[in-house]
């Protein structure tokens, strides 16, 4: 499967893993999609010679969830964290983006983007715009960033992380 996926990546400049098992899926599916598929894409990218990899993860993967957290959501967070851990050990130009709670609201073009952002919502459209800006900014490779709705124009928010 990895080699056939790699064939589709020929001449690509970058890959973005933004898939998720979605609501209604169980714990096993969270692992196969949110962790294993991200690793499969990383293997294929390496085989195809694609160095740039953006991974959409989730806020909350670093800590232990509250004891009353649904077991499927715990599996989701663990799978996303495992995908991050796998990717960050690879010799790729990776960036991890951890959005807050996703909404279907219209885009604002403004976000909070930082290594640790306060919890909050963000529109899917704004996450997509942040990803596009990160792709256009190779100096963000090696960073794990969190994003929620906020006051800063997206381009300025991304550019702020290029000086390290």
pLDDT for residue 1: 55
pLDDT less than 70: residues of the chain: 1-3, 163-164
Question: CB of 132 within 8 A of CB of 45?
Answer: no
pLDDT for residue 164: 52
pLDDT for residue 26: 84
d(C-alpha 41, C-alpha 151), whole Å: 33
Helices and strands (DSSP H and E) totals, the chain: 6, 8
The token pair that represents 50 in the structure block: 């694609």
pLDDT for residue 22: 77
d(C-alpha 154, C-alpha 82), whole Å: 28
pLDDT for residue 27: 86
Residue 21, number of CB atoms within 10 A of its CB: 21
End-to-end CA distance of the chain: 37
Q: Give the predicted TM-score (pTM) of the model.
A: 0.94
Which element (helix H / strand E) includes 112?
A: strand 110-114
- Side-chain half-sphere CA neighbours of 99 within 13 A: 21
Q: Please, what is the Cα angle at 131 between 130 and 136, to 5 degrees?
A: 95
pLDDT for residue 2: 58
Q: pLDDT (tens digit, 9 = 90+) per residue, 140-162?
A: 999 999 999 999 999 999 999 98
């Amino acid at each position: 499967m990895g080699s056939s996926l790699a064939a589709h990546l020929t001449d690509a400049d970058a890959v973005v893993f933004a898939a998720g098992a979605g609501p209604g899926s169980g714990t096993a599916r969270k692992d196969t999609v949110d962790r294993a598929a991200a690793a499969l894409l990383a293997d294929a990218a390496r085989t195809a010679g694609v160095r740039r990899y953006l991974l959409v993860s989730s806020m909350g993967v670093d800590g232990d969830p509250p004891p009353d957290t649904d077991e499927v959501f715990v599996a989701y967070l663990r799978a996303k964290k495992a995908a991050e851990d796998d990717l960050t050990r690879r010799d790729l130009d990776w960036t991890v983006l951890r959005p807050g709670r996703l909404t279907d609201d219209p885009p604002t073009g403004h976000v909070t983007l930082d290594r640790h952002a306060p919890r909050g919502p963000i529109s899917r459209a704004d996450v997509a715009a942040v990803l596009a800006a990160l792709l256009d900014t190779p100096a963000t490779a090696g960073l794990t960033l969190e994003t929620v709705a906020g006051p800063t124009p997206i381009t300025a928010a991304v550019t702020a992380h290029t000086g390290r």
